[in-house]
Amino acid sequence: MSSITITLPDDRLQQLKKKAAKLHLSPEELVQASVEDLLSRSEEDFERSLDYLLQKNADLYRRLA
């Protein structure tokens, strides 16, 4: 099994931790479940989700670039 590392702004990490805690999961488990869900979707669903995510976070990505 392989692993990856991602960088999140502090405020996003806190949001992730809060959501994970509400679901009684670790942040890593929540991210893994989200990735599994994303990868199990059809190509069309994936592209729709990706477009939504990119549009929603466009400003964040510009600031991080």
The tens digit of pLDDT for each residue in 10-52 reads: 999 999 999 999 999 999 999 999 999 888 877 787 788 888 8
Distance CA 31, CA 37 (A): 10
CA dihedral for 62, 32, 24, 45, sign (positive or negative): positive
Task: Determine the pLDDT at residue 6.
Answer: 92
* Residue 25 dihedral angles phi and psi, to the nearest 5°: -125, 160
Task: Determine the pLDDT at residue 53.
Answer: 84
Q: Is the confidence at residue 61, as pLDDT, over 90?
A: no
Distance CA 65, CA 48 (A): 23
Domain boundaries, the chain: 10-64
Q: Is the confidence at residue 55, as pLDDT, over 90?
A: no
Task: Determine the pLDDT at residue 16.
Answer: 96
DSSP single-letter state for residue 41: S
Which residue reads 């990735």 in tokens? 35
